[in-house]
Structure 1
Amino acid sequence: MTQLIAKSYHDMRPLVDMLGDRLLFIAAVIVALLGAAVIGMQLIDMFMIDPAGFNRI
């Protein structure tokens, strides 16, 4: 029984590695987008740009 459990964990390891890499990539993209949003908000405050003018897009 112990060998069966060990084999099951060993067989699942590549799946866990693949999902972990994908989740890490998604988390990195989300962090980058949030960081860019914060930088954009800081630039708007720094240059005193009126955000109401952005509705022309």
Structure 2
Amino acid sequence: MTNTSEANKERNREIAHNEEAKQVTGSVRVSTWAIAVAFIIGGILFTLGWLSLR
């Protein structure tokens, strides 16, 4: 019974580790998109401001 309990604990640790890796990957992906969108919006606003001053 102890072997089964230890095996379950090890399996749960592995699952938690995998879930953490997925969460980090998802966070990086969201951050990359947020930076890209902010950069594009900033470029559009800069262009509109520059054109309005000309």
TM-score scaled to structure 2, two decimals?
A: 0.69
Number of aligned pairs? 46
Cα separation, 2, equivalents of 1:31 and 1:17: 21
Structure 2 unaligned segments of length 5 or more: list them: 1-6
Residue 5 of structure 1, CA deviation: 7.4
Cα separation, 2, equivalents of 1:33 and 1:11: 33
- Residue 34 in structure 1 maps to residue 37 in structure 2: yes
Q: For residue 20 of structure 2, what is the aligned residue in structure 1? A: 17
Residue 8 of structure 1, CA deviation: 4.9
The structure where helix makes up a greater share of residues is: 2
- Structure number with higher relative contact order (C-alpha < 8 Å, ≥ 6 residues apart): 1
Deviating beyond 2 angstroms after TM superposition, the runs of 4 or more aligned structure 1 residues are 4-11
- Residue 48 in structure 1 maps to residue 51 in structure 2: yes
